[in-house]
Structure 1
Amino acid sequence: MEKNKFQVFRDKLYNNVSKVIVGKEDKINNIIIAFICSGHVLLEDVPGLGKTKLSRALAKSLNCTYKRIQFTPDLLPSDLTGVYFYDQKSGEFEFRKGPLLSQFVLADEINRATPRTQSALLECMEERQITVEGNTIKLNKPFFVIGTQNPIEQFGTFPLPEAQLDRFFMRISLGYPKYEEEIGIMNRFIENEPLDTLESVITIEEIQYVQNNYVKVHVSDEIKRYILDIITETRNYKGIEAGCSPRGTLNLMKGSQACAAISGRDYVIPEDVKAMAIPILSHRISISNGLDSVDAIIENILNTVKTPMEQV
């Protein structure tokens, strides 16, 4: 494994996206890690914080085909996957592709669609294929979904159940920009739209390399036990109704491997696990009413569980 290729991949991608998005380096890093792991991201934020611009900037930088889907209550699964229609000229049925046949998909306000349509999308995310009238069609590689939802406005929405939330590799909130960052946003967009001139900086070969080789990052037995100790604590923590599933365990390990890789290491350290714990585990935990936020609970668990160095 060539460690420098991961750092070059991260630096080229972040530097290009930062021409559009001001600040948010840690959030963009997390999305890059999810992409390397072939996972998908759920962005929870109020409107207007740059979710669409961020997704378009990433797609352009990666030279991926891009589609944005506005989820509404009347959206049907076939609107996502595509349909067969009868062509009177040829006398045959032809397939009209839906937006899921793109490489990079923004599922905007995913919680406004009905559970049936939500399930159609999430099945594609997991299986990397769609089935239309009995015909199975493999999705393009890479295939990456960013789903968004407004955590405040719940009127007219269909909240994602825990089983569907678990299909997302990470949940991230961009949050409001800092004061000076927002000054930078005004300066950057006062005359031009940086997205219009943004060019791709990543090749398909670079994407294939990082997605195929991050798994070669070494995870010691001590780190594996450390990850599992954290997961086990989410299942035993007082006030947590449902802890993390084994999928959460695997995703935390994979995310830690990718985090180590873009940091220039071919081995995982506890700091990688800690950095990935909240974005990868927070949406996989159900808590009782009245408890602290999920993020605060995970922070408390990280402070409680001993790291491998402390056990020596």
Structure 2
Amino acid sequence: MSTEPHLYPGPPAAESPPHRGTPDEPEAARQALIALREEVGKAVIGQDAAVSGLVVALLCRGHALLEGVPGVAKTLLVRALAAALSLETKRLQFTPDLMPGDVTGSLVHDTGTSRFTFREGPVFTNLLLADEINRTPPKTQAALLEAMEEHQVSVDGAPRRLPVPFAVIATQNPIEHEGTYPLPEAQLDRFLLKLTVPLPPRDDEIRMLAHHASGFDPANLDAAGIRPVAGPSQLAVARDAVRAVAVRPDVLAYIVDLARTTRAAPAVALGVSPRGATALLATTRAWAWLSGRGYATPDDVKALARPTLRHRLTLRPEAELEGVTADTVLNQVLATVPVPR
């Protein structure tokens, strides 16, 4: 059973107009983002929780790591989301021979002018799909650090700003370890959320096959009928609204208590840092706003605790040998820490 949060409440907008570049009011922006479920569902069936998580990441100006076995539509999910949000997306296949310049871009000598000109890499886009990010060496993984933290890249000492909005959505396979380079803690910490993409339930898998039997082509999203229901202007309005969500002192204390309790857990070698607690605050506010409220509750914290914190825990080797996972620890922490009334 998936531990990801269910899609935010509220009916999807039946007829949201295409994005025309003019800012909408916060409620109109919220309804447009809610309508993403229906649009992405035209191509990807049964992954509402992953859609929710990606929207939360975008609202918080964060990045997301999608983990799932091959064939669960991780790449298709990102492409469909970008199409429904009127955002440019580029896919970069991470391989052992990929170089940092292949990600960020590099200086190229122009024989006509005898000068070096900068050729942009695929990171210059709105949504960068870093496919199988753990298949490339640490040096190339590190090429994304500045982009993810500062939203810029530096080549030959010159910083170059990335487009707005910008987000990295990376994928990795949880079961294949040969030929991979596990992401270091510093890299994992740059991801706001780690979302699990599970195998679909039987009924959803039947619907999926019926979808393909009726002529669905994953390579042609236009034919699937996906239309833009939101765009950069709605996303900007939504981000401002999320920052205005009120959080009571007792909810702030609840977030801190959760983080501090992970540090004392017997199975944990390194618990959630203050940056992790700040990330949980951000995702909690985004979830509250998507739910139609101007204030956050402990239930919002609970809904986002696992995807926000699971990749920020370092387990002791003996605990991993016993089958303990980060979600196991977080379930125990959520059951132990008193919830404010």
- What TM bracket, shorter-length normalisation? over 0.9
Matched, 1:277 2:277: no
* Counterpart among 84, 91, 107 of residue 84 in structure 1: 107
* Counterpart among 143, 166, 189 of residue 212 in structure 2: 189
Q: Which residue of 2 aligns with 1:236?
A: 264
Cα deviation, 1:93-125, whole Å, max 9, x if unaligned, reads 222110001111000010111100001112211
Structure 1 residue runs of 4+, over 4 Å off?
none
Secondary structure of the 1:195 match is coil
Q: Which has the higher helix share?
A: 1
Q: Which residue of 1 aligns with 2:6?
A: none
The alpha-carbon deviation at position 4 of structure 1 amounts to: 2.2
Q: Structure 1: give runs of 5+ residues left out of the alignment.
A: none
Q: Which residue of 2 aligns with 1:298?
A: 330
The alpha-carbon deviation at position 10 of structure 1 amounts to: 2.4
Matched, 1:62 2:103: no
Alignment of 1:153-302 (within 5 A): 153-190=176-213, 191-193=215-217, 195-197=221-223, 198-288=226-316, 289=319, 290=322, 292-302=324-334
* Counterpart among 116, 122, 135 of residue 145 in structure 2: 122
Cα deviation, 1:28-86, whole Å, max 9, x if unaligned, reads 11111111111101011111100000010011111111110000111011001111112
Question: Any conservation in 2 of the 1:278–1:295 contact (CA below 8 Å)?
Answer: yes
The alpha-carbon deviation at position 9 of structure 1 amounts to: 3.0
Question: Any conservation in 2 of the 1:3–1:264 contact (CA below 8 Å)?
Answer: no
The one-letter code sitting in structure 2 at the alignment partner of 1:196 is D
Alpha-carbon distance between aligned partners in 2 of 1:173 and 1:39, rounded to the nearest angstrom: 17
Question: Any conservation in 1 of the 2:104–2:153 contact (CA below 8 Å)?
Answer: yes
Alpha-carbon distance between aligned partners in 2 of 1:186 and 1:273, rounded to the nearest angstrom: 36
The one-letter code sitting in structure 2 at the alignment partner of 1:299 is N
Alpha-carbon distance between aligned partners in 2 of 1:165 and 1:301, rounded to the nearest angstrom: 21
The one-letter code sitting in structure 1 at the alignment partner of 2:141 is Q
The alpha-carbon deviation at position 158 of structure 1 amounts to: 0.8
Question: Any conservation in 1 of the 2:26–2:241 contact (CA below 8 Å)?
Answer: no
Secondary structure of the 1:99 match is coil
Moved more, 84-93 or 34-43: 84-93
* Counterpart among 157, 163, 173 of residue 150 in structure 1: 173
The alpha-carbon deviation at position 204 of structure 1 amounts to: 1.8
Q: Which residue of 2 aligns with 1:96?
A: 119
CA distance 1:201–1:2, change in 2 (3 Å): closer
Q: Structure 2: give runs of 5+ residues left out of the alignment.
A: 1-23
Question: Any conservation in 1 of the 2:267–2:329 contact (CA below 8 Å)?
Answer: no
Q: Which residue of 1 aligns with 2:57?
A: 34
Identity of aligned residues (%): 40
Q: What TM-score comes out, normalization by structure 1 length?
A: 0.95
Question: Any conservation in 2 of the 1:166–1:283 contact (CA below 8 Å)?
Answer: yes
Matched, 1:141 2:141: no
Moved more, 249-258 or 195-204: 195-204
Residues matched between the structures, number: 309
Secondary structure of the 1:292 match is coil
The one-letter code sitting in structure 2 at the alignment partner of 1:60 is A
CA distance 1:301–1:2, change in 2 (3 Å): farther
Q: What TM-score comes out, normalization by structure 2 length?
A: 0.87
Cα deviation, 1:181-209, whole Å, max 9, x if unaligned, reads 01111111221226233222212210111
**RMSD of Structure 2 on Structure 1 (CA):** 1.5
Question: Any conservation in 2 of the 1:83–1:98 contact (CA below 8 Å)?
Answer: yes
The one-letter code sitting in structure 1 at the alignment partner of 2:339 is T
Secondary structure of the 1:131 match is strand
The one-letter code sitting in structure 2 at the alignment partner of 1:92 is R
Moved more, 254-263 or 91-100: 91-100
